[in-house]
Amino acid sequence: MPELNATPVTFKCKICGGDIVNNFLVGSCVCAHCGNKWNLEDMIPDYSQYSNIISNINAANEAVSNNPTVVSLERAKSLLNFAVEESEELDGVIASDLAKMSRDEIAKIDRMQGYMKGMAFFEKQNYQGALEEFEKIPGYKNSDELREQCKVHVEKQNKTNRFMEVFLGMLFPAMLCIVLKIAADMSIAILLPLFLGLSVVLGFLIYMGGLPGSIVKLASVLSIAPFLIFIIIRYDIHIMFFKLCKLIFEYLIQMIKYVLVDSKK
């Protein structure tokens, strides 16, 4: 983290008249022209009223200077917020310098936290979450490069999700039509339009998302258990697999025939 020492000029040098820069962390004033130094206590009137503010700023700097963590960054922000509040209760240029200095460092810590969150999401392959965090901190470290990588991963995940949406949209109609075929021996001419219609409707609901889409996905997954129980009860276990495979094969043949031949009549 950059040093917390860049503050506006508040005094002139007693020797050369140059600009004085206050280094609150080191506790000294330095002339930008001749390099002479003085202790802050000697240069700032009523220094004691600023001592607690400066102490909080120093503690914040120590909290993030070496291997910062989520906890240490939050502690640093708390200390800096206290420094801002105390500075705003005082008047004068020094108080204004300290308040601005604290706010600037809070903004830097926010960027650092955003980067850490983005990296945490990235390592867990939550690329959408990482992308959102990196977009908030353009130009910070390698966030721009990571943002582009996240976009590629998100696009791949979206393609996979679209495939799953199509599959889930077809899952329940397929099981329903199989049950109707087995239990009621319904005609393929009826079951095929039923399957296609339900697949389109349910697939659209899943694609739109929200509560209806979530309900459809949950119902599709939960319906697998009763479907398997029905199959097991209806057929002997040792022939269940073969009959089911044969039924699915015949069903696919009828679908292809309907699409390629019957639908063109």
How far, in Å, CA of 258 to CA of 8, rounded? 80
The predicted structure's pLDDT at residue 9: 41
Whether the CB-CB separation of 95 and 88 falls below 8 Å is answered with: yes
How far, in Å, CA of 103 to CA of 155, rounded? 37
Reported as type and span, the H/E element at residue 29 is: strand 28-31
Alpha-carbon distances, residue 127 vs 153, 164, 209, 227 (angstroms): 6, 18, 19, 35
**End-to-end CA gap in the chain:** 74
Closest among 152, 160, 57 to 103, alpha carbons compared:
57
Sheet containing 11-12: order of strands: 11-12, 19-23, 28-31, 37-39
pLDDT under 50: residue ranges of the chain: 1-9, 263
Closest among 48, 51, 44 to 21, alpha carbons compared:
44
The predicted structure's pLDDT at residue 240: 61
Closest among 15, 138, 116, 32 to 69, alpha carbons compared:
116
**For residue 67, which phi and psi values (nearest 5 degrees)?**
45, 65
Instruction: Return the structure tokens found at 107.
Output: 């903004």
The predicted structure's pLDDT at residue 236: 59
Alpha-carbon distances, residue 234 vs 106, 187, 221, 237, 247 (angstroms): 68, 19, 21, 9, 14
Whether the CB-CB separation of 213 and 206 falls below 8 Å is answered with: yes
Alpha-carbon distances, residue 50 vs 9, 53, 55, 86, 193 (angstroms): 17, 5, 9, 9, 80
DSSP state at residue 47: G
pLDDT digits (tens, 9 = 90+) for 143-184: 999 999 999 998 887 776 767 777 777 888 888 888 888 888
How far, in Å, CA of 17 to CA of 244, rounded? 95
Report pTM: 0.57
The predicted structure's pLDDT at residue 235: 62
The predicted structure's pLDDT at residue 2: 39
